[in-house]
């Protein structure tokens, strides 16, 4: 049995809390948050405290807060004896350097309120300052997930950058597709199976081998027809730049 | 029972053929292709013929060929009595105008060789010149898929354009994410669950509501750090343009 104090009450904290609750071997002894209101949903299930309150003794203190809040919390954690980890993709481990036992517990996923997630499939990237601290962190990670990786701060930063392309930018392209459908009075639902299949395909083929479409075929005529159909300068610019990028990638491969 | 002659031997033709075979109510009486070699995989299961050969009598003639091949085939189909449909997302119905009974049977999906697909989930967009021809086409579509739509040529063109963003461009972003991982010696596998979740999320939230990330938060500092980390000018340009597009979209909503 490992004891955890969870600091934070947002999406990541809530998902972690619910997941930890499901396992007998992880005991969340306290949730710490800014306001009584934000703590209310945890209060019936464990002890809670404000940020200025007294922290309970625990094996691991898990900071599930915004990147900006991490350095501000460091001072208040100096007297803590356990392992202190943050859950950020971008903040280096060195941000916790003033503390004795530190690490990173970064679940690489997009967390949405009220949307249940299967944590077993979520990759968790771990890092510790002192190798001796790896064991408890790995225990927690492997209890809740089947995909646990040890990743340095430098690599985690790159992974987070890659995730911006694979998640944030991809979702924005879904948004543009949805806008085009709406402008033409076509239901965006028609595109949803294609979107699922595109994402599923990378489990079978590399994105390089899976690429299709007019830019891949260097089909200048279709690309020009598409450009003429796009309503905004911005959509046209994106279409051009993405197409050029695809053309350039495959030009050298033919 | 409805009889079909399938013209074409590529990915779409092969997937349609395998799917039709599974239903007793659709009888593929002939597959027509350019070469004996391309026809060989069909030859043990139905009659085959070359493009210059004699076409069998059928209720529906389905052109599963490239966009460029469609106008070239029109002349050779003039004496055919059945309904002639093409399967393209971009070619208008009017491309078949010289023929008597024409339509479009467009399955909106990305087809890959040797990758099985569940056709029941694939949207099929139908269009006919003469409303009387709608019934047999709808029968075939509804036999193999649960998502059948009647869509005009104009709307189908827009849908195809939207699909370029939702599929081709999205896959290219997966490729860039994969490149960033490779450059940093991080396994692209770590990103795959995030990619699946991003695609799955649009079934629960609109892309507009699902958007997250530094550009969405207008987090200038993280965006600058990301730009500094990107290896190529091209990746930087894409990062900038996509981020600006996201920022612009949400700026007016705050």
> How open is the CA angle B81-B82-B85, to the nearest 5 degrees?
130
Question: Is the pLDDT confidence value at A214 over 70?
Answer: yes
For the cut 60, the answer to whether the pLDDT of residue A254 exceeds it is: no
Q: Quick one: tokens of A83? A: 């392992």
Give the model's pLDDT for residue B115: 75
Q: Flag whether pLDDT at B254 surpasses 60.
A: no
A140-197 residue pLDDT tens? 999 999 999 999 999 999 999 999 999 999 999 999 999 999 999 999 999 999 999 9
What are the pLDDT digits (tens) for B151-180?
999 999 999 999 999 999 999 999 999 999
A55 touches A31 (CB < 8 A): no
Q: Per-residue pLDDT averaged across B95-124, rounded? A: 90
Determine the pLDDT at residue B112.
Answer: 75
Cα A207 from Cα A1, distance rounded (Å): 42
Distances (CA, A) of B177 to A161, B24, B231: 8, 45, 12
Those residues with Cβ within 8 angstroms of residue A234's Cβ, 6 or more apart along the chain or in another chain: B245, B248
Which of A158, A178, A204 has the CB atom closest to B207's CB atom?
Answer: A178
Question: Residues A55-80: pLDDT tens digits?
Answer: 999 999 999 999 989 999 998 999 99
Contact A206 B178 (CB under 8 A): yes
Q: Which residues, numbered 193 to 232 in chain B, qualify as contacts with chain A under a Cβ-Cβ cut-off of 8 Å?
A: 193-208, 210-216, 222, 225-226, 229-230
> Are A17 and A4 within 8 A, CB to CB?
no
The residue count of chain B comes to 254
Q: Cβ of B66 under 8 Å from any chain A Cβ?
A: no
Cβ-contact A84, A64 below 8 angstroms:
no
pLDDT beyond 70 at A198: yes
Confidence of residue B102 (pLDDT cuts 50, 70, 90): very high
B162, B208, B214: residue with CB nearest A191: B162
pLDDT recorded at residue B253:
66
Q: Min CA distance, B54 vs chain A (Å)?
A: 32
Identify all chain B residues contacting A125, using CB atoms and an 8 Å cutoff: 190
For A22, the token pair is 């499901």
Given its phi and psi angles, is residue B186 left (phi above 0), alpha (psi -120 to 50 degrees) or beta?
Answer: beta
Q: CB under 8 Å, gap of 24 or more: what pairs does A50-56 form?
A: A51/A7, A51/A76, A52/A76, A55/A5, A55/A30, A55/A80, A56/A5, A56/A29, A56/A30
Q: Does B252 touch chain A (CB under 8 A)?
A: no
Q: Which pLDDT score is estimated for A251?
A: 85
Instruction: Look up residue A56 and give its two tokens.
Output: 């309970």
Q: How far is CA B3 from CA B41, B58, B60, B137, B145, in A?
A: 20, 5, 6, 11, 18
Burial status of residue A17 (CB atoms within 10 A of its CB: 0-12, 13-18, 19 or more): buried
Who among B158, B176, B193 is closest to A122 (CB)? B193
Q: ipTM of the assembly?
A: 0.92
What are the CB-based long-range contacts (under 8 Å, 24+) for A72-78? A73/A7, A74/A98, A74/A99, A76/A51, A76/A52
| DSSP assignment string, A2-20 | EEEEEE--SHHHHHHHHHH
Mark yes or no for CB contact B211/A171 under 8 Å.
Answer: yes
Residue predicted with more confidence, B79 or A143: A143
Chain A residue numbers with beta carbons less than 8 Å from the beta carbon of B214 are 164, 168
8 Å CB contact of B239 and A164 = yes
**Mean pLDDT, residues B25-40 taken together:** 95
Q: How many Å is the maximal CA-CA distance in chain B?
A: 68
Least confident of A136-140, A237-241, B61-65, B231-235: B231-235
The C-alpha torsion from B250 through A198 and B202 to B143, rounded to 10°, is 140
Comparing alpha-carbon positions, the chain B residue that sits nearest to A222 is B90
CB contact under 8 A, A211 and B176: no
Mean pLDDT of B208-212: 94
CB-neighbour burial class of residue B253 (10 A; exposed 0-12, middle 13-18, buried 19+): exposed
Per-residue pLDDT averaged across A189-216, rounded?
A: 95
Chain A segment 142-171 residues within 8 A of B by beta carbon are 147, 149, 151, 154-155, 157-159, 161-171
Give the other-Cβ count within 10 Å of A80's Cβ.
Answer: 16
Cα A81 to Cα A59: distance, rounded to the nearest angstrom: 8
Neighbours of A79 (CB within 10 A): 7
Contacts of A204 in chain B (CB under 8 A): 112, 115
Return the biggest CA–CA distance within chain A.
68
% of chain A with per-residue pLDDT over 90: 89
């Amino acid at each position: 049995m490992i004891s955890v104090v969870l600091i934070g009450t947002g999406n990541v904290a809530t998902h972690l809390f619910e997941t930890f609750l499901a396992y007998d071997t992880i005991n969340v002894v306290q949730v710490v948050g800014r306001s009584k209101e934000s703590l209310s949903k945890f209060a019936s299930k464990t002890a809670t405290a404000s940020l200025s309150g007294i922290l309970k003794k625990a094996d691991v203190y898990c900071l599930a807060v915004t990147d900006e809040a991490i350095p501000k919390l460091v001072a208040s954690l100096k007297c803590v004896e356990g392992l202190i980890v943050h859950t950020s993709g971008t903040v280096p481990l060195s941000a916790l350097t003033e503390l004795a036992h530190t690490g990173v517990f970064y679940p690489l996923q997009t967390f949405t309120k009220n949307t249940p997630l299967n944590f077993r499939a979520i990759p968790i990237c771990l890092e510790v300052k002192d190798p001796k601290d790896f064991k408890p962190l790995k225990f927690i990670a492997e209890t809740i997930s089947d995909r646990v990786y040890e990743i340095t701060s430098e690599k985690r930063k790159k992974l987070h950058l890659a995730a911006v392309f694979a998640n944030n930018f991809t979702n924005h392209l879904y948004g543009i597709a949805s806008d085009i459908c709406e402008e033409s009075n076509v239901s965006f639902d028609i595109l949803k199976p294609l979107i699922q299949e595109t994402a599923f395909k990378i489990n079978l083929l590399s994105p390089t081998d899976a690429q299709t479409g007019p830019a891949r075929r260097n089909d200048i005529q279709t690309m020009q027809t598409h450009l003429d159909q796009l309503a905004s300068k911005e959509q046209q610019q994106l279409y051009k730049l993405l197409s050029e990028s695809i053309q350039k990638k495959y030009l050298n491969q033919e």
